[in-house]
A and B are shown apart, each in its own frame.
Chain A
């Protein structure tokens, strides 16, 4: 049974509670001075990795949990957060502020990283809440030729490097089984991420954070998609309130909804 070497890619995004505003030039959303944090689905990945170790769920044990980010200098914050949650070390691939990598590029970068770090399990969030693409994990599995289990709500380890994953699918759940090495992406119901305690935040400052560049992995940041414009969605106008149930029914009839 192989010991797990887990790679956990994390992304820094605008905090989920902030309502994003489209910028004046219609090239993207306003990011300056806006609260950022770790993509919620990535918190689940970090939490799951740490729990696999704490609860001794994998027969071969967990040898290493390495968190990985490609992003602007400020993205180091989310790597420190992940280490405060229990990851062992971090790799930061610095890219220029405002230069977002497309999922395909990130997948290629992660393939190189997984090979370099000898990872046998990559746990990613199912999607980032900024681009909402839901692609990177699947692309990575395709490039590596590894099995994939997306939208995981339960991960169980068996003998002989087998992993059973319960997936959230339309209409319910399904369970699939594969052998390491593999790629898993997280769904919301996988776990409840912990808060990093102050002592752990202090300890995380001493954990190793390696700085790298795209070139170190032989990757260039090319763009296949050109963003022509980003606009506000058409606003809905609230139609006001009614006094009682009868008012509600007559309004619905008036709108032709019942």
Chain B
């Protein structure tokens, strides 16, 4: 039996040669033996010394694989973040690399950094959230490992079989990977964030190859909001083209959101028309959300929008077109002019 570490190394060293020895899934053998073979590295994001709780879904997904789970963090002054991550339940070890060069998650140096740490730890699975960071870095890593990444998974059947939506969620594919190191991004709404609790993982210093990044980070412009974060909010109110203008969008949607304590989302049409910031876009090409309540206001319900919200627990729709496709998926629909109905709803919710 070749050790997992060796397998990874050979996959790295000879990218042209496929190594056919993959671990048989749940082979006859004791669970303990299996655990020794399976080890997952969950990539955790941090920003300004704060752990991104959205990336904790990578840990809960990694735990479903059934082997040991290590977390990985990198950035400047990483110790406090590593210590917080060490409290996450079910994590055996946190690998931390203290270097400001990794703060912005530039794939050109972050991917080689991961390669070295994966090589050292002999991981069979590398898991990250399907966030802007995960989408940017993980495929580059996968190429360096000569592994065919599996994106945006919604379920894990076993250590090599995964479920993911394709065609904007209009079909669900179950795929089996033959790669020695499986590179995976997970849909945050399909795996609950692991809890930061009373865990006491060891914090270990990772390897830092200090690869140069040919790309430099220049600036950013992030929308500031005191409302809940769209991707993880338990309630979302979302506005579409029916809102007619940015002023109307703000005047109608914001009070409704506040009366429910909800995050604000928008359809692609509303974003493209300039009514709402594009970081609010819900859909195949925007964010995928699955809140307890999703309220669609003035949204017709195009395929690409439904892909981003159809797993919500309860869907409510307000639209003046009784034939809008959104009503086919809404648990409760109200046909009417949103300019009348939404303010009335906002008032009544405040009183309730």
Contacts and interface: CB of A to CB of B under 8 A. Distances in A.
Interface stretch (B1-9, B33-41, B162-170): B162-170
Contact of B179 (A16, A224, A232, A233): A224
A213 to B, nearest CB: 20
Nearest to A153: B278
B53 interface: no
Contacts of B246: none
Interface stretch (A74-82, A88-96, A112-120, A244-252): A244-252
Nearest to A241: B333
A131 B147 CA distance: 17
Contact of A135 (B142, B219, B335): B142
A20 B167 contact: yes
A246 B348 contact: yes
Contacts of A224: 147-148, 177-179
Contacts, number: 253
Contacts of B213: 147
Contacts of A228: 161, 174-176
A107, A189, A248 — which one has the most chain B CB atoms within 10 A of its CB?
A: A248
B159 interface: no
Interface residues on B, range: 35 or more
A170 B132 contact: yes
B332 A251 contact: yes
A185 to B, nearest CB: 9
A139 B141 CA distance: 8
Contact of B216 (A178, A225, A240): A178
Interface stretch (B56-64, B71-79, B220-228): B220-228
Nearest to B167: A20
User: Which applies to chain A's interface (DSSP): helix, strand, loop or mixed?
Assistant: mixed
A57 B149 CA distance: 35
A142 B143 contact: yes
A197 interface: no
Nearest to A13: B167
B140 A148 contact: yes
Nearest to A225: B175
Interface string A153-177: 1000000000010011111111111
B314 A255 contact: yes
A175 to B, nearest CB: 4
A252 B272 CA distance: 30
Contacts of A164: 218
A240 B304 CA distance: 22
B235 to A, nearest CB: 8
Given A222-B18, A227-B173, A249 B348 contact: yes
B166, B175, B219 — which one has the most chain A CB atoms within 10 A of its CB?
A: B166
B196 interface: no
User: Which applies to chain B's interface (DSSP): helix, strand, loop or mixed?
Assistant: mixed
A138 B140 CA distance: 5
Contact of B143 (A107, A225, A232): A107
A22 B222 contact: no
B167 A147 contact: no
A6 interface: no
Contact of B171 (A20, A252, A256): A20
B231 A169 contact: no
B193 interface: no
Contact of B284 (A132, A177, A244, A257): A132
B118 interface: no
A224 B146 CA distance: 10
B268 interface: yes
Interface in B47-104: 104
Interface string B273-306: 0000111000011010000110000000001100
Interface in A184-222: 187-189, 222
A252 B332 contact: yes
Given A149-B215, A151-B132, A142 B140 contact: yes
A174 B142 contact: no
A120 to B, nearest CB: 13
Interface in B185-227: 213-223
B136 A138 contact: yes
Interface stretch (B24-32, B105-113, B120-128, B247-255): B105-113
A25 B218 CA distance: 50
Nearest to B307: A132
Contact of A241 (B140, B161, B335): B335
Contacts of B279: 168, 170-172
A131 B178 contact: no
B233 interface: no
A238 B168 contact: no
B313 interface: yes
Nearest to B315: A236
B217 A176 contact: yes
Interface of B: 18, 104, 106-108, 111, 131-133, 135-144, 146-152, 161, 164-179, 213-223, 231, 235, 260, 268, 272, 277-279, 284-285, 287, 292-293, 303-304, 310, 313-316, 318, 322, 327-336, 341, 344-345, 348-349, 352
Given A134-B139, A230-B172, 4 more contacts: A132-B152, A172-B222, A226-B178, A238-B330
7 contacts: A142-B143, A175-B219, A176-B215, A177-B215, A227-B174, A233-B165, A257-B314
